Amino acid sequence: MSYKSVNPFDNELVRSFDEISDKELEQKLVQAAACYSEWKAKSYSDRAKIVNRAAALMHERVGELADIMTLEMGKRIGEAKAEVQFSSEILTYYANNAERFLADVPLHPSHGEGHMESSPIGVVFCVEPWNFPYYQLARVAGPHLMAGNTLVVKHASCVPQCAIAFEKLWLNAGAPPGLYTNLIISHEQSDNIIDDRRIKGVALTGSIEAGRVIAAAAGKNLKPSSMELGGSDAFIVLEDADMAQTIKWAVWGRMYNCGQTCCAAKRFIVVDGVADAFLAAFKVALGALVAGNPMDVQTTMGPLSSEAALVKLLAQVDDAVKHGARVELGGRRVDCPGAFMQPTILTHVEPGNPAFRDEFFGPVAMFFRVKDEAAAIALANDSDFGLGGSVFTKDVERGKRVASRVDTGMMFINNISWADADLPFGGIKDSGFGRELGDMGIQAFVNKKLVRYVVADAPV
């Protein structure tokens, strides 16, 4: 594996990094295990001092960290700054709430007394993706460090400078060596880490393929794991939706982070009565976006993360068309340097088309016309994924009814506002298992221990 920073705006190589040796990796694992022995014994307030300092540093260095992100994976600078700030807020959230989330829970057995207590389990190995280079790291660092674990982290090979910058935050915050360790390693080394007896849990955010491999390896070793994988979220539009607001969310939901979001709106399912009006307005809104330098705050559409990502997406569109889909808008790369793709809308995607089951990780929307609410729900559920979804209607109770009937980990009514540290994030089916963020996010890698105390004679 090659760790390289390549600017997707012009496809120019910025910097490359060598993988560490097996000897260096062993030293880092030794250090992480040794750190755990001390960190687990610290109070929540002592842990919070370090985590809060890291959060404060993120807040102070928003511009610097955002610039690195935009340089490495092309996120528009405004979105990049917002991600850094949100990542800081996640760390603060867990520093302030971890003790409450992991407090002893009293039990009331028929005889005596008891409680459940939570304790850390050890070194946790995290494998994280490039599309949210800091947010994904904060989602594991905040809860699991506050729980008393230590982390070793393999970040995506195309954002090595983001990975290094995040590790540096912890060192600058006064974290003991081994508390948070960035690993520039190969796939083979990554596989070996999961087998290592010092690793007690595994967290992945990534593709289905990676999830199957890593979850299987964790399972073979009887280690707990959490998997946040892909998605093909339904965006349901009912006939009574506020169309102006719905179109705004449709554009944001498909084009945020240039469409490179697991829980992005990807399948637009619109009831027949408003289908023509929605499609016409959606085409106009997407067509108004203009490719430009993601460092410029005026840019309305940045590049994809890499040339390889663009080539893969174009091939998916071509394959969809070969199997009967129609291109209503876009479908090509933008005629300029860099990894830019036109905003694209596909229609007439039938169940036999590979696109019907695929995830398009970029600015490609699939549009489906359905006769009514029941048909919309049925189509939303006809997916191998189950991460998120949304429904748009002026009747909130109707929206709640639809949300309850869609098989997915998250549903949003008249919005796609998933970015809140309080909200558990995760899915079902091929979208993985487990939850991150909220009070559930800190529970993944702790030992839930029963303690019972009762005065009783042993059975004869």
Q: What is the CATH number for 11?
A: 3.40.605.10
Q: Name residue, tokens 């890698």.
A: 445
Q: Quick one: 354 and 243 in the same domain? A: yes
Q: Quick one: 67 and 213 in the same domain? A: yes
Q: Which of 377, 391, 433 is nearest to 409 (CA)?
A: 433
Contacts of 419 (CB under 8 A, 6+ apart): 86
Q: What is the pLDDT of residue 1?
A: 56
What is the spatial distance between Cα 160 and Cα 319, in angstroms, rounded to a whole number?
Answer: 32
What is the spatial distance between Cα 83 and Cα 72, in angstroms, rounded to a whole number?
Answer: 14
Q: Quick one: 310 and 170 in the same domain? A: no
Q: Quick one: 239 and 189 in the same domain? A: no
What is the spatial distance between Cα 172 and Cα 347, in angstroms, rounded to a whole number?
Answer: 51
Q: What is the pLDDT of residue 252?
A: 98
Characterize 378-412 residue by residue with b for buried, 16 or more Cβ atoms within 10 angstroms of its Cβ, and e for exposed: ebbeebebbbbbbbbbeeeeebeebbebbbbbbbb
The series of mean pLDDT values per 10 residues for the chain, 460 residues long, is: 92 96 98 98 98 98 98 98 98 98 96 96 98 98 98 98 98 98 96 97 96 97 97 98 98 98 97 98 97 97 97 98 98 96 98 97 98 98 98 98 98 93 97 97 97 90
CATH number at residue 264: 3.40.309.10
Contacts of 380 (CB under 8 A, 6+ apart): 234, 236, 267, 269, 389, 406, 408
Characterize 30-65 residue by residue with b for buried, 16 or more Cβ atoms within 10 angstroms of its Cβ, and e for exposed: ebbbbbbeebbeeebeebbebbbbbbebbbebbeeb
Q: Quick one: 51 and 39 in the same domain? A: yes
With the C-alpha atoms ordered 178, 183, 189, 192, is the resulting torsion angle positive or negative?
A: positive
Does residue 371 form part of some domain? yes
What is the spatial distance between Cα 301 and Cα 282, in angstroms, rounded to a whole number?
Answer: 16
Q: Which of 77, 78, 72, 132 is nearest to 361 (CA)?
A: 132
Q: Quick one: 196 and 286 in the same domain? A: no
Indicate which residues carry an active-site annotation.
228, 262
- For 279, which DSSP code? H
Q: Quick one: 177 and 296 in the same domain? A: no
Q: Quick one: 262 and 210 in the same domain? A: no
189-196 long-range CB contacts below 8 Å, 24 or more apart?
Answer: 189/19, 189/22, 189/25, 190/127, 190/154, 191/217, 193/25, 193/29, 193/125, 193/152, 193/154, 194/125, 194/218, 194/221, 194/223, 195/221, 196/29
Q: Quick one: 366 and 336 in the same domain? A: yes
Provide the residue type at 293 as one letter: N
CB–CB of 143/441 below 8 Å?
yes
Structurally, how many domains does the chain consist of? 2
Does residue 166 form part of some domain? yes
Q: What is the pLDDT of residue 191?
A: 93
What is the spatial distance between Cα 309 and Cα 338, in angstroms, rounded to a whole number?
Answer: 11
Does residue 457 form part of some domain? no
Does residue 459 form part of some domain? no
The predicted model scores a pTM of 0.96
Does residue 400 form part of some domain? yes
Does residue 422 form part of some domain? no
- For 175, which DSSP code? P
| Enclosing domain of residue 360 | 233-413
CB–CB of 365/265 below 8 Å?
yes
Does residue 458 form part of some domain? no
Tell me what percent of the chain is helix, strand and coil, each rounded to the nearest 5: 40, 20, 35
What is the chain's Cα-based Rg? Answer: 23
What is the spatial distance between Cα 76 and Cα 285, in angstroms, rounded to a whole number?
Answer: 18
Does residue 307 form part of some domain? yes
What is the spatial distance between Cα 334 and Cα 331, in angstroms, rounded to a whole number?
Answer: 9
Q: Quick one: 181 and 245 in the same domain? A: no
Q: Quick one: 249 and 225 in the same domain? A: no
CB–CB of 242/274 below 8 Å?
no
Q: Quick one: 249 and 372 in the same domain? A: yes
340-346 long-range CB contacts below 8 Å, 24 or more apart?
Answer: 340/291, 340/301, 340/303, 340/304, 340/310, 341/304, 341/310, 341/313, 341/314, 343/254, 343/255, 343/286, 343/287, 343/289, 343/301, 344/317, 345/279, 345/282, 345/283, 345/286, 346/317, 346/320, 346/321
